[in-house]
Structure 1
């Protein structure tokens, strides 16, 4: 028997109380609420736990258990919600280029969504960590597009698209993708690589992010950063494992997993990250 997605529980989790229709205003409202309520986090791979892409598992973890997740979990959850509402949604896959040369050939390890609405294409992505998209992007090249946070734009050449955000006056590339629809098997392979490959950074350090109006909150290892749009970023290094846990609970709203080695793994994080 296929899993029946609980849309009401999802809407309650993200705090969306407005209209629920397959239109652009609902799409924007749901994405804004999702990114403000469900944090990006990689605690499971960091603790060397399996990351399941079974929808019932994702729903239980992100909706009912007070957890967050990374791109495959976040965007799978959003796709299920949007499809239940009545949107036409396809999954895409991308090569992450954040901090790299935009021409680099990296593995396809990032999930994003394409939504068809009234004859036009839109992109959504609630799972890119510290630069998660808080709005939707029209699938059009070379135009600056406002979001509730930074402006974004898409560039296009030879069938490939690049997603970029304007950070401190500079266009930075997030990832490269094409428009070929992807399927569950594609994401299973990419998720397995991302969560279990020994060199994957998700297995070695902590990455957590959440959005608030005009703010981004990021945790990379022990480094907590509060970015305010148009203002200076405030950074502080977290000391003990207990302090990290407090920030995870109080700032990011994460209900921490009961794991015997959680404090040990947090204590082992280097002080200079």
Structure 2
């Protein structure tokens, strides 16, 4: 069976020129490069466009059209690439708790994560990969081991054990911040279809109400939340800038976030509404 991905096109999109081997070095390289070149973005749900999870649709959008996407698109694309290289990959699901009161009722599973098996000598083991978590997307895989701090090219992360669940945490300004709750139950394709449908269409989903865009680069992260552009440097801290015109939003999306924007009246209307603070 042929892999459902054009590896050469994907590698060209993210700038990967390394070996085609199922090694930890390959996994780390892909995990670092992917979120630098393919941004997290939710223009599809904002424009009321269908978000399809077929290999053809995801590759056409994220690889061919120069667009980005959200977790289901990013992590499916990475999953197919890793499987084509010979990795064993299992799709998982998580409950996002970032920014929520711990006393709140647990949210539904709405985030896709990957479990990757690496068979590589002394490096053999299971890893968590996730290139689709917005402003705090992992830029390196984490060894599936509880309660150890793990360095990445950006923030330190850890998987804190809580019963039979792992809590993904990032160290932000010296505070360990919970991002999502993850168990190791494999997910079927139909599970992601349901989660994706909610995220892309439900009126309470943030992705149909708010512009959310993010991209990483060495030593820096960029975030765009509606009309606020955040630049987060590991050396100099964070700076936030308001964007008050559609032109400024277009410039941030195109140049800062590396999105090839569609030329559509619907996009013009959305960017005007966001710029006006509506």
Deviation at 1:190, TM superposition (A): 0.2
For residues 120-131 of structure 1, what are the structure 2 equivalents within 5 Å? 120-131=125-136
* Residue 54 (str. 1) matches residue 54 (str. 2): yes
Q: Which piece of structure 1 moves more, 251-260 or 29-38?
A: 251-260
For residues 104-123 of structure 1, what are the structure 2 equivalents within 5 Å? 104=104, 105-118=106-119, 119-123=124-128
Q: Residues 2, 258 of structure 1: CA spacing in aligned structure 2 closer, same or farther, 3 A cutoff?
A: farther
- 8 Å contact kept, 1:249–1:255: yes
SS at match of 2:274: coil
For residues 93-172 of structure 1, what are the structure 2 equivalents within 5 Å? 93-102=93-102, 104=104, 105-118=106-119, 119-172=124-177
Deviation at 1:103, TM superposition (A): 5.9
Deviation at 1:270, TM superposition (A): 6.3
Q: Distance in 2 between matches of 1:103 and 1:77?
A: 35
User: Which residue matches 1:199?
Assistant: 204
* Residue 17 (str. 1) matches residue 11 (str. 2): no
* Residue 29 (str. 1) matches residue 34 (str. 2): no
**Aligned residue-pair number:** 273
Q: Residues 3, 26 of structure 1: CA spacing in aligned structure 2 closer, same or farther, 3 A cutoff?
A: closer
Deviation at 1:225, TM superposition (A): 0.7
Structure 1 segments unaligned to the other structure (5+ residues):
none
SS at match of 1:233: strand
Q: Distance in 1 between matches of 2:186 and 2:98?
A: 23
Q: Distance in 1 between matches of 2:241 and 2:101?
A: 29
Q: Distance in 2 between matches of 1:13 and 1:69?
A: 14
Task: Give the alignment's TM-score, normalised by structure 1.
Answer: 0.96
Deviation at 1:272, TM superposition (A): 6.2
Structure 2 segments unaligned to the other structure (5+ residues):
none
RMSD value, Cα: 1.5
